[in-house]
Amino acid sequence: MPDIIQLLPDHVANQIAAGEVVQRPASVVKELLENAIDAGATHIKLVVKDAGKTLIQVIDDGSGMSDTDARLSFERHATSKIKSAEDLFNLHTKGFRGEALASIAAIAHVELKTKTESAEIGTRIVIEGSKVVEQEAVVSPKGTTISVKNLFYNIPARRNFLKSNPVETRHIIDEFHRVALAHPQVQFHMIHNGSDVFNLPVSNPRQRITRIFGSKANEKLVPVSEETEIVKVDGFVVKPEYAKKSRGEQFFFVNHRFIKSPYLHHAVNSAFEGLIKEGTYPGYFLFLEIDPKSIDINIHPTKTEIKFDDEHSIYAMLRATIKHSLGQFSISPVLDFNKDSSFDTPYEYSKKSPTNPTIEVDKTFNPFKDSATTGLKGMGKQPYNPKKDPHWESLYVGMKDLTKEGTVEGVQFESQEVTGSFFESSETEQGQTTFQIQNKYIVSSIKSGIMVIHQNLAHQRILYEGILRNMTVQEAVSQQLLFPLEFDYTPDEIGLLTTVKEPLEHTGFVFDALEGEKVTISGVAAGISESTVKEILDALLSDLKEEVPDAGFSQNDLLAKSLAKSMAIKSGTALRPEEQEHLIHQLFACKEPSVSPNNKKTLITMEASDFDKKFM
C-alpha cells in the first residue's frame, strides 16, 4: 500500500485553524482590539460596516511593527508575546498563540498599515487567502491599522451561516464592551455604517460603565473591593432591586481579560440569594487580579474560559465580599455606612500610646445613639442636636459653673459672636459645656480636669477620615453647582490634576473638562463652598508639586490631607457652643482623634492635680 499521509498546505491548515478562532465578525473584532491593547495603544478606533461582514477596521496608536514583523505577524504561531512554554505562566498580554492574524488572513481580504515610533516610513501589506499580494513602504502615523474585508469570502458555507446584521452587530458590541470595560484608561471609539456608536474617553471603571450603560447605571452600582493573598477583587455589583429578567450585565474580568466562569457566577448568585426575585439575574462588573502563575487561560482557543488553581477560596471570598458590600450599601441606606466604622469606635483613650493624653471617659457612652447626625455625606458638617444626647454631658462635669462665671483666672473668654455658619443652629437646653479661647481653642471640662482642643487641627482630622472613607467607598455625595466653575491653569498643572482626578471624583468633585489649560467643575464635595473651590485646588496643586505621590494609597492620603487642610475651620473663626460640641463629638468618632493628619496634637488635657500644684 502506498504512503497516504501528507502535510496540509499552510493555507489549508490556516483555514482549519481559522474555524476555531473566527466564528463570526465579532471574533475578528475581539482579536484586533486585543492586539491593539497588547501593543500599548491609548486610543483605539473600531470601524464596522454591515455588521462586520463587509469591513472591520481597527486603528490604534500603539507600538506598530517593523516591516519584517509586519510580514511575520501573519505566519501561524508567529507571536512576539511568548518565547518559551514557561512564559505561558507569566502572561500579561491578551494574545500569545500567534494564530489570530494568520487565521483572519486565511479567510478574508486583509490590509495592514503599520509604523513604529522610530521608523521614518511605514509598511503596507495586502493579504488575500493567506497570500501576500502587495507589500510596500507607505507614509503612515505611528501605530497600526488593520482592515478586514469580505470575511469568509472563500468559505461560502461559513458566510451563509452568519446571522442577520442586527444579531452580528450585537455580538460585535458585546466584544467591544468587554474590551472597553476592562481598559477604562484607553480611549475607544466605535463607528458603524458611518455613525458613532460609542465614544469613550479615558475614565475610571465606574465612569466607563456609566458611559456604556447610561447615566442611570451609576446609581445602581454598589462598589465591591477586597484583597487577599491570592486574589484582588474590585468592581461593582448592581443593586438587587435592579436585577434583570435576562442575563444582561454580567462581567468577570481576570487580569483585564473578560472571562466566563459558571463557577464564579454561582458565587455571585449565591451572594444575592434572598435579595432578588426568582427568575431574575444580578448584574455585576467584577475585576479580579490574580498572579498569572495561578491561572490557566490556555484551555480554549477563544480564551474566555479560565482555570484557577485555587477556585474554592476565590469562590468563598467573592461570595463573602459581595454579601458584605450589599449589606453595607444597598440594603441599608448609604448614610448608615458610617455606623460600621465610627459608631463602634470605642472611647478607648487609655489604650493609646503613653505619649497620648489620658482622659477618663464613660465607656458605655455612645454619642451617636439615637442621633442622626453622622453619615459621610456632609463629611463632618451635619447639624448636631445636643438634645438627643443626654449622656454627652458626662464628659463635661462642672462645665456649667465654669462658664457661668464668665471668667477664670488668666483666661479671657471670647465673645460668642458667630462669623460663619458651619452648622445649622440648634438651641441647647442644658447650657454651655464648652467655650472658645482666642477663637482658636475649644476648652471643655472632663472628669479629671480640662481638655483643650485645637479647632483647626481637630477639624482636619475629622475631614481627613471622612474624605478617605469616601475615596474608598466611592459613594461620596456631590454638591451640584448652579453654574460650572471654570479656572485656568498651566498644562503642567492640568496634568497634575489629571493624576488625581479619579480620587477627587470619589470625594464628590465632578469635572466637566480637565484638559489643555482649563478645568471646568460642575460639582464639589459636600461641605465645600463655591467661593473656596479655587483656593482648595491651588493648595492641592502646591501640595502635589511638593510631594509627587505614587499611585494608590499614598496618593489618596496626600489628597485627603490637602483637602482636609483647605476645608478645615480656620483658627480665628468663632464657633457657636453647639458647633464646638459638634466638633468634639465628631473628633471622638474618629479612629485617631488625638493627632492631626500631619501628626500634630489635636488636643491636650490638664489634670485638676496640675492646677492644684499651681495654687500651692
Q: In sequence order, which residues have a C-beta less than 8 Å from that of residue 541 and are 6 or more positions away?
A: 489, 493, 496, 497
CB of 131 to ligand ADP, least distance (A): 17
User: Residue 103's closest CA among 151, 65, 53?
Assistant: 151
> What distance lies between CA 412 and its chain's CA centroid?
50
In this structure, are residues 124 and 155 in contact, taking their beta carbons and an 8 Å threshold? no
User: 131-138 and 122-128: which strand pairing?
Assistant: antiparallel
Q: Which residues bind ligand ADP (CB under 6 A)?
A: 31, 35-36, 38-39, 60, 62-65, 73, 78-81, 95-102, 144
Q: For the beta carbon of residue 79, count every other beta carbon within 10 angstroms.
A: 20
Closer of 77 and 404 to Mg ion (Cβ): 77
Pick the stretch among 29-37, 64-72, 470-478, 586-594 that binds Mg ion (CB under 5 A): 29-37
Contact between 93 and Mg ion by CB under 5 A: the answer reads no
Minimum CB distance to ligand ADP smaller for 83 or for 277: 83
Query: Minimal distance in Å, beta carbon 144 to ligand ADP?
Result: 4
DSSP letters, 230-263, are SEEEEEEEE-GGG-BSS--SEEEEETTEEEB-HH
| Contact assessment for residue 562 and residue 504, using Cβ atoms and an 8 Å cutoff | no
Window 45 to 74, contacts with Mg ion (CB under 5 A)? none
Residue 168 touches which of Mg ion, ligand ADP, none (CB < 5 to 8 A by kind)? none
Residue 35 lies near Mg ion (rule: CB under 5 A)? yes
How many residues can be counted in the chain? 616
Cβ closest to ligand ADP, residue 65 vs residue 457: 65
547 in Cβ contact with 398 (< 8 Å): no
Q: Give the residue with the Cβ less far from Mg ion, 302 or 490.
A: 302
Spell 146-179 as b/e; 16+ CB within 10 A means b.
bbbbebbebbeebeeebeeeeebbebbbebbbbb
User: Of ligand ADP, Mg ion, none, which one sits near residue 98, judging by CB under 5 to 8 A according to partner kind?
Assistant: ligand ADP
The smaller minimum CB distance to Mg ion, of residues 302 and 425, is found at: 302
User: In this structure, what DSSP letter does residue 531 have?
Assistant: G
Give the one entry of ligand ADP, Mg ion, none that residue 373 binds, where binding means its C-beta sits below a cut-off of 5 to 8 angstroms depending on kind. none
CB under 5 A: which stretch of 35-43, 115-123, 161-169, 429-437 binds Mg ion?
35-43
Which CB sits closer to ligand ADP, 69 or 226? Answer: 69
- Nearest residue to 439 via CA among 569, 308, 611: 569
Nearer to ligand ADP, 73 or 433 (CB): 73
Size of site (CB under 5 A) for Mg ion: 3
Residue number closest to ligand ADP, CB atom: 95
Beta carbons within 8 Å of 230's beta carbon, 6+ residues apart:
290, 291, 294, 310, 313, 314
- Selection from Mg ion, ligand ADP, none that 79 binds (CB < 5 to 8 A by kind) is ligand ADP
The entry of ligand ADP, Mg ion, none that residue 533 binds, CB within 5 to 8 Å by partner kind: none
Q: Is 100 in the site for Mg ion (CB under 5 A)?
A: yes
Q: Give, to the nearest 10 degrees, the angle between helix 25-38 and helix 165-182.
A: 20
Q: How far is the CB of 112 from ligand ADP (least distance, A)?
A: 8
User: 118 exposed, middle or buried (CB, 10 Å; 0-12, 13-18, 19+)?
Assistant: exposed
97 versus 323: smaller Cβ distance to ligand ADP: 97
Least distance from Mg ion to the Cβ atom of residue 56, Å: 14
**73 interface partner picked from Mg ion, ligand ADP, none, CB below 5 to 8 A per type:** ligand ADP
Q: Residue 52: name the closest of 188, 172, 199 by CA.
A: 172
Q: Which is nearer to ligand ADP, 35 or 573 (CB)?
A: 35
Which of residues 112 and 379 has its CB atom nearest to ligand ADP in the complex? 112
C-alpha–C-alpha distance, residues 40 and 34, integer Å: 10
Contact 98, 72 (CB under 8 A): no
In the list ligand ADP, Mg ion, none, the entry touching 81 (Cβ below 5 to 8 angstroms by class) is ligand ADP
119 burial type by CB count under 10 A (0-12 exposed, 13-18 middle, 19+ buried): middle
Which option in Mg ion, ligand ADP, none does residue 96 bind, with CB closer than 5 to 8 A by kind? ligand ADP
What is the β-pairing status of strands 284-290 and 250-254?
parallel
Query: Which grid coordinates are listed for 603?
Result: 488636643
Q: Minimal distance in Å, beta carbon 202 to Mg ion?
A: 23
CA nearest to 383, candidates 333, 430, 425, 442: 425
CB nearer to ligand ADP: pick between 143 and 503: 143
Choices 96-104, 419-427, 547-555, 561-569; region in contact with Mg ion by CB under 5 A: 96-104
Least Å distance, CB 312 to ligand ADP, is 31
Residue nearer to ligand ADP on the CB measure, 80 or 204: 80
Instruction: Name the minimum Å distance from CB 343 to ligand ADP.
Output: 52
Stretch near Mg ion under the rule CB under 5 A, chosen from 34-42, 129-137, 314-322, 459-467: 34-42
What minimum distance in Å lies between the beta carbon of 299 and Mg ion? 17
| CB neighbour list of residue 297: distance below 8 Å, 6 or more residues apart | 91, 254, 257, 259, 303, 305, 306, 307
Residue 39's binding partner among ligand ADP, Mg ion, none (Cβ under 5 to 8 angstroms by kind) is ligand ADP
Q: How far is the CB of 32 from ligand ADP (least distance, A)?
A: 7
Please give the residue whose beta carbon sits closest to Mg ion in the complex. 95
Residue 292: partners with Cβ closer than 8 Å, 6 or more residues away: 89, 90, 91, 92, 255
- The number of helices, as runs of H, and strands, as runs of E, in the chain is 19, 22
Query: Interface with Mg ion by CB under 5 A: which residues?
Result: 35, 95, 100
